[in-house]
Amino acid sequence: MKEISRRNFIGGAAAFGLGLGAMGLAGCAAGEPASADADAGSTGKAGGQDTTGVPSFLQAPDPITDDQIAQTIETELVVVGLGVAGVSAVRSAAEGGVKVVAIEKCSEPNCRSSQFSAFNTENARSMGIEDIETTDLVNELMIQMSHRSDFRILKNWADHCGEAFDWYASAYGGLVWVHPGDETPSEDTVYVSNKNSYPPYEYGRDHEVVFSGTLSFTAPDKGGQKPVFLANFEKAQETGNVDAHFDCPARQLVKEGDKVVGVIFQNLNDQTYTKVLASKGVVLATGDYVRNDEMVAHYLPWIYDQKEKFTFTYMHQDIEGNFADMGDGHRMGYWVGGNIEAGPHAAMAHGDLGKLGVDAFLQLNGKGERYINEDLTNDHFGSALIRQPGNVIYQIFDSKFPEQLSSMQAGLGTKSKISQEDIDAIDDWTSAKGDTVEDLVANLGVEADVADTMKAQIARYNELCAAGKDEDFGKASERMFALETPPFYAIRYAVGEPGLSGASQDALRCLVTMSGLSTTKDAEVCDADLNVIPGLYAIGNVQGGRFLADYPATIAGASHSIAMTYGYLTGKHIAESA
């Protein structure tokens, strides 16, 4: 049995390397798991699998018995986890008159980033977002994920994300909508804007099929959506229908017959257990499993086997210092018969390249060779980068780059403009500069054979630009910018080395895992035969059927948008159900 040594996450993250035995296939059918210690799976179990062939994180803990329960609460709905999905579900259900107990393992609700895809409403149109045919969008998503996802789940999101975003944004009373052409508000203003100032996708020109429909929140403290997110939780509390419990991780679901009727949580302040019985069911919104090394190794071995090359970015922890994203909902759902969807599971793993993003300037790998059609979104760029020799690439451009940015294709990680301040400080965020190509390459300090290859590849690229056709990789002629106007610049990206910003691992980030429990289009959790388990729902990164293999950057902000939309829809569904 192979023992995998403990390693630390880059950037101060906690250890991500408990021992793991032979890894099974990515998909796990629900079964009757063996008994295990009450906290098995929360930190992993040495060996990873026992003789039953069931990974330790899927082995159900011993039941928490009635004599261990300090109190019992009766309510209508329990929402476990207060991220974007959970907060949206709490607010939606509470506004529908449902009594909700909200449980969160950390000390406050948690959110991240700022982007949401939203379209097909008057607000979206006023922000310059053209209407999207939702079947076209979902079909493209399905193609990019090899039809592993559930069309019905994605279609339900696409049909309702606009109204859900309007509802979510309305929680913050002072929100400013910054329309195209408006001046940027003052620094003390919370606002939403459309940052997709690109020409729309055009067949035959653009390499990736990308839809523009992304709205971004901006807050004075650079906290992205946090003020709006917290306003949604406050809106829920104002209904008088919400009883919230923090520092209280859920430990087990309560099942009577075939139905899930509640959950048991533990208060980390006094270690007592509380049973919550909910007549309308339980919503799992506990997030992903990116901090559970055993689950990542099992479902995402291509990430786990190269984890030292990634920065794991989110640090949400409970008061005991344990990471939040441990797959709690996946495991609890499995223990009561839920099906963890077949793989390959998806991770949001991006190439993150700084000032010019992944714009389609010339790229050469560590051997000095052009290796790809550079017209990529950052998820696909990251997949290509990690397969290059030494995981090193060079992005090369000339002094005309500011005016060339507006020609780039829309997509996650691409940039359409740059500030004059950044232009003036270009020597601070580039790796080398030269008045000739020869000088540029010499200033990069590469080996002689690499330098010769680089100069030959740049000459070839200039020939293709002059011809107006990229015969080598097929990049659109609109983005074939010859290197001809000095000075010339290069940015070197090397995975695992300090970046130009001084941060380690400048190029690759692993944010979250994105696959989960099989559900219906109404977020009802299903068993191995895909029959509904009454009383149990899964939303956010606990919900399966959304993303598999890769997170497609077809439309930036889809992840947040699906979490928010399914919280909104699931709360309404439960409130409106008999």
pLDDT tens by residue, 121-178 = 999 999 999 999 999 999 999 999 999 999 999 999 999 999 999 999 999 999 999 9
| Locus of tokens 């509470």 | 94
- DSSP label at residue 8: B
For residue 248, pLDDT over 70 is answered with yes
State pLDDT tens for residues 4-33: 232 222 232 333 333 333 333 333 333 333
User: What pLDDT, on the 0 to 100 scale, is given for residue 260?
Assistant: 98
Q: What is the DSSP string of 179-245?
A: -TTPPPPPTT--EEEE---SPPP-TTT-SS-----EEEEE-TTS-TTHHHHHHHHHHHHHTT-EEEE
User: What pLDDT, on the 0 to 100 scale, is given for residue 578?
Assistant: 66
d(CA 570, CA 345): 23
Are 394 and 490 contacting, i.e. CB atoms less than 8 angstroms apart?
A: yes
Of all residues in the chain, the percent with pLDDT exceeding 70 is: 88
Q: What is the DSSP string of 414-460?
A: --S---HHHHHTHHHH-SEEESSHHHHHHHHT--HHHHHHHHHHHHH
| Domain coordinates in residue numbering, the chain | 353-506
**281, β-bridge pairs:** 77
For residue 211, pLDDT over 90 is answered with no
Q: What is the DSSP string of 271-300?
A: --EEEEEEEEEEEE-----TT-HHHHHHH-
- pLDDT confidence band for 500 (50 / 70 / 90): low
Find the angle CA(109)-CA(300)-CA(390) to the nearest 5 degrees. Answer: 110
Distances (CA, A) of 548 to 345, 543, 544: 5, 11, 8
Q: Is the peptide bond before 227 cis (omega within 30 degrees of 0)?
A: no
Average model confidence (pLDDT) across the chain = 87
- pLDDT confidence band for 523 (50 / 70 / 90): very high
Least confident of 99-108, 239-248, 417-426: 417-426
How much is the pTM? 0.87
User: What pLDDT, on the 0 to 100 scale, is given for residue 379?
Assistant: 79
State pLDDT tens for residues 186-210: 888 999 999 776 677 788 788 888 8
Tokens of 370: 């052009």
CB atoms within 10 A of CB 380: 24
> What residue type is assigned to position 108 of the chain?
E
Three-state DSSP state, 148: coil
State pLDDT tens for residues 229-238: 999 999 999 9
User: What pLDDT, on the 0 to 100 scale, is given for residue 564?
Assistant: 98
Least confident of 13-27, 39-53, 250-264, 453-467: 13-27
User: What pLDDT, on the 0 to 100 scale, is given for residue 220?
Assistant: 86
For residue 322, pLDDT over 50 is answered with yes
The residue that leads in pLDDT, 316 or 336, is: 336
CATH 3.40.250.10, applies to 353-506 = no
Three-state DSSP state, 166: helix
For residue 287, pLDDT over 90 is answered with yes
User: What pLDDT, on the 0 to 100 scale, is given for residue 181?
Assistant: 87
For residue 513, pLDDT over 90 is answered with yes
Q: What is the dihedral of CA 430, 436, 437, 440, to 10 degrees?
A: -30
User: Which of 271, 278, 260, 265 has its CA nearest to residue 78?
Assistant: 278
Are 330 and 530 contacting, i.e. CB atoms less than 8 angstroms apart?
A: no
